[in-house]
Amino acid sequence: MKRAELIFIPTPGIGHLVSTLEFSKRLIERDDRISITVLVMKFPIATFVDAYTKSLTASQPRIQVIDLPLVDPPPPTLVQKSRHRYLCSFIESCIPNVKNVIKNIVTSSDSSSGSVQVAGLVLDFFCVSMIDVANEFGLPSYMFLTSNAGFLDLMLYLPTRHDQISFEFEKTDPEILLPGFANPVPPCVLPDGLFNKEGGYSTYIKLAQRFKDVKGIIVNTFIELETYTVNSFSHAQIPHVYPVGPVLELKGQPHPDTNQAEYDKIMEWLDDQSQSSVVFLCFGIMGSFEVPQVREIALGLEQSGYRFLWSMRVPPTKAEASVTSPYTSYEDMLPEGFLERIKGRGKTCGWAPQVKVLAHKAIAGFISHCGWNSILESLWHGVPIVTWPIYGEQQLNAFMMVKEFGLALKFRLDYRRDGQLVTGDDIERAVRCLMDGDEELRKKVRDMSEMGRKALVDGGSSFNSIGQLIEDMIGRS
């Protein structure tokens, strides 16, 4: 049996890396011929990437992880102008190291009597500049999109719009008619980089213009969730799209910011709560708020009278980002006496094992930043979402969940961390709306959960799509 090796190159960042490793595991479990090498780029400040790669690959001998040599990051002034430009500049600086590793893999493959053949590169969408590296070695390139088909539809639209209007979006622009959306898309829910005049918009365009150059686009979604969008691709002149999701890490890997004792306290507290009695608040790895917003959230939760679990992040220090914070602990940011007043009814923590929390019987709803991984996790466990997007493409995700799918409660769709303050009264109303319950919404979410699970089993839509991808990559058995 001839074996095939795939080389995955994810974007540096835990969300992208974990999805990449989980999809890699799915491929090797599906076909014995496949082995995978994952090339990991790491920022100098990345402190817990190793923990994830080791835990996720320890039992997978056919997945090899290679840490690329560290490179000097771009100047910190660049991240203040545009995070997207900063990230792509960092990735491009890694290209010489990527090229050296691929050369070694290809040379080793050529000298092994043809028993293993490199079948292609699988690139995160931020890494599409490495399509040229694949071409240099005569290898096909595929894209693994950790986001959804709706975001893909937007990216495919951008080059056409840029040819007609070659400058940044404005919040006052008219609504956009995207072929993969049933509803007009208001500019206020577009990714923040598209409004950025200091490299963000130009970076998006540079990335989007390369999407047509890959052989296929693998998307972490499933047809039953994004039926309208996926069907629209069949009429477009684009690379083949493979919906393979939901790709999730469901074991809940330990996080370096906590310890087993804190983890146990969180789960024990949930065990003591009644079924469907707790609202969970979590806003992602970078989902921090400044003190005035933290105190409004606290006010809203206290006023609501409902039970809650609130995972909080302290804003980053100056060394980590352009945002600064004088606080080292989330407790210091809370209103005086808050923790005492909510004792027994609410619990706060610096980090929560999100997947395990969403799976718990006590959880009735999720106030979320609408990162795509979080959305898929909540749908998998049948937990309704209240939308509070913060950055990246989260506003578009929130719009899709509310307007396109009808699977979330609208709280905010266009929130940005630029001075907007969501009041405690608004938060109280959102919690009450979620917990008092729209049974029709809850049923729709449970039904979608079942469809997502069925998509992955033999004969399901994503199962079949992965089979087609493997056949297109390495041929039939």
If residue 116 lies in a helix (H) or strand (E), which one and from where to where? strand 116-124
Tens of pLDDT, residue by residue, the chain (477 residues) = 578 999 999 998 888 999 999 999 999 999 999 999 999 998 865 555 666 677 666 678 899 999 999 999 999 999 999 999 999 999 999 999 999 999 999 988 766 656 789 999 999 999 999 999 999 999 999 999 999 999 999 999 999 999 999 999 999 999 999 999 999 999 999 999 999 999 999 999 999 999 999 999 999 999 999 999 999 998 889 999 999 999 999 876 555 555 678 889 999 999 999 999 999 999 988 788 999 999 999 999 999 999 999 999 887 644 444 444 556 678 889 999 999 999 999 999 988 899 999 999 999 999 999 999 999 999 999 999 999 999 889 999 999 999 999 999 999 999 987 768 999 999 999 999 999 878 999 999 999 999 999 999 999 999 999 999 999 999 865
**Residue 340, SS3 per DSSP:** helix
Tokens found for residue 51? 């923990």
Where do the domains of the chain lie? 3-247+457-474, 260-437
Cα–Cα dist 326/318, whole Å: 10
* Structure confidence at residue 65 (pLDDT): 94
What pTM value is reported for the model?
0.94
Find out whether 285 and 406 touch, Cβ atoms under 8 Å.
no
Distance CA 77, CA 321 (A): 10
List the Cα angle 105/110/114 in 5-degree steps. Answer: 115
Count other Cβ atoms within 10 Å, centred on residue 477: 10
The reply to whether domains 3-247+457-474 and 260-437 share a CATH topology is: yes
Report residue 275 as tokens.
Answer: 């079924």
Give the pLDDT confidence score for residue 321 in this predicted structure. 43
Query: What class does CATH assign to 3-247+457-474?
Result: alpha beta
Fold of 260-437: Rossmann fold (3.40.50)
Q: Which of 288, 281, 370, 282 is nearest to 321 (CA)?
A: 288
Three-state secondary structure call for residue 199: coil
How high is the pLDDT of residue 350?
Answer: 87
Q: What is the pLDDT of residue 255?
A: 58
pLDDT at 323: 46
H or E stretch at 120: strand 116-124
Tell me which residue of 126, 140, 124 sits closest to 247, measured CA to CA: 124
d(C-alpha 83, C-alpha 193), whole Å: 8
